[in-house]
Amino acid sequence: MSFKLLHEAQSKLKNIIHSRFDSAVRSGDAASVERFFKTFPLIGEHKSGLEKFSKYLCTQVVLVVATAGAFL
């Protein structure tokens, strides 16, 4: 029974971290994006964290290039 409770808590924690990371990305809060990115390895979500952070970084690069292009 305690194993089931522990597994449920782990699942909830993973969902919270994923949700908060996504929320930080949507709101443009770079400090929170970095903070939540660092928690992915701690919950065994290395690959998922890298995929999400890579997507975020690619989006940021596109925005910077588009902004720089507007000034050229």
More confident of the two residues 70 and 13: 13
Domain boundaries, the chain: 2-70
Q: What is the structure's pLDDT at 72?
A: 63
Q: What is the structure's pLDDT at 69?
A: 79
Is 27 buried (19+), middle (13-18) or exposed (0-12) by CB count in 10 A?
exposed
Structure tokens, 44: 């065994």
Q: What is the structure's pLDDT at 16?
A: 98
pLDDT digits (tens, 9 = 90+) for 40-58: 999 999 999 999 999 999 9
| Measured distance CA(32)–CA(51) in Å, rounded | 17
pLDDT digits (tens, 9 = 90+) for 6-45: 999 999 999 999 999 999 999 999 999 999 999 999 999 9
